[in-house]
Amino acid sequence: MKPWIGSWCWIMLIFLGCGTLLFYIGGHLVQDNEYPDDSSRELSKILAKFERLKQQNEDLRWMAQSLTANTHYN
């Protein structure tokens, strides 16, 4: 066996190990994106609450304007 054949085996083994590691890490990244984590769920809850508060604010503003308009007529 020639000495350079052994070095190619080590190089291929290193490439195979790096490829396996990248495949393993990539699989976990894709899997993590399929399921929203706690922070994104928390953010969506906060945004929904914010939208409800904006709607309540608009409703209260409309009621205040209607009360102000009614007091001018009396």
Same domain for 27 and 53, yes or no, is no
Q: How much is the pTM?
A: 0.45
Same domain for 45 and 30, yes or no, is no
Same domain for 15 and 31, yes or no, is yes
Model pLDDT for residues 42-54, shown as the tens digit of each residue = 889 999 999 999 9
Same domain for 29 and 15, yes or no, is yes
What is the C-alpha separation between 30 and 24, in angstroms, rounded? 10
pLDDT band at 66; cut points 50, 70, 90: confident
pLDDT for 36:
60
Same domain for 42 and 74, yes or no, is yes
Range of the domain at 53: 38-74
Same domain for 4 and 26, yes or no, is yes
DSSP 17-68: HHHHHHHHHHHHHHHHHHS--HHHHHHHHHHHHHHHHHHHHHHHHHHHHHHH
Same domain for 48 and 69, yes or no, is yes
Q: How many domains does the chain have?
A: 2
Q: What is the largest CA-CA distance in the chain?
A: 108
Model pLDDT for residues 1-41, shown as the tens digit of each residue = 455 567 778 888 898 998 888 888 877 666 555 556 777 88
